[in-house]
Amino acid sequence: MISAELLGTAPALDRLRGLAGQANSGVARAIAKLGLDLQNHVQQDKLSGQVLAVRSGNLKSSIAMSVAQTASSVTATVASDLDYAAAQEYGFFGVVNVKASLRQIKEAFGRPISAKTISVAAHSRRMDLPARSFLRSALDDMSTDIGTGIEDALRQAMS
């Protein structure tokens, strides 16, 4: 009969119990950093004229990142709360109602005129807006970096 005795089990078990907490906090930090990297990539590499032309800068400045952590998951979300962000990201085909407004014109029948303010009546307009992905394409661009960042965080927690 062969028997064995494992010496020093208490420190080994303590180390194994601590790995879960270290891995969780390391992954949470990595995901927060990757979320910020993704936010910067969207703002600097997608919304500075590369995918969408900059008009007011409102869409670019509306891109926000948040991190949510539970006992079993860590999630970073990069999104915009503007109404037209989804239409730009996914495209839109349909009819929209345009409110009555005032408009300044400087050209009539293709010829320049002195500036005039005119009243535009409320009306419906058919729109066919193609998709101009700035969020999903940025996520695709960074997918390798995201996977590597999470693996590195886990590897570091285990060492």
Listed by start position, the domains of the chain span 11-91+130-158, 98-129
Q: pLDDT at position 35, please? A: 93
What's the CA dihedral at 61, 147, 142, 92 to 10 degrees?
Answer: -70
Given a cut of 80, whether residue 113 has pLDDT beyond it is: yes
Given a cut of 60, whether residue 7 has pLDDT beyond it is: no
CB under 8 A, 24+ apart: contacts of 144-150: 145/34, 145/37, 146/34, 146/38, 149/30, 149/31, 149/33, 149/34, 150/27, 150/30, 150/31, 150/34
Are 71 and 27 in contact, with CB atoms under 8 Å apart? no
**8-state DSSP, 43:** I
Q: Is 109 helix (H, G, I), strand (E, B) or coil?
A: coil
- pLDDT, average across residues 87-91: 94
Position with higher pLDDT, 13 vs 84: 84
Q: How confident is the model at residue 54 (pLDDT cuts 50, 70, 90)?
A: confident
Reading the block at residue 110, the tokens are 């293709």
- The pTM score is 0.74
Q: Is 149 helix (H, G, I), strand (E, B) or coil?
A: helix
- pLDDT, average across residues 29-45: 93
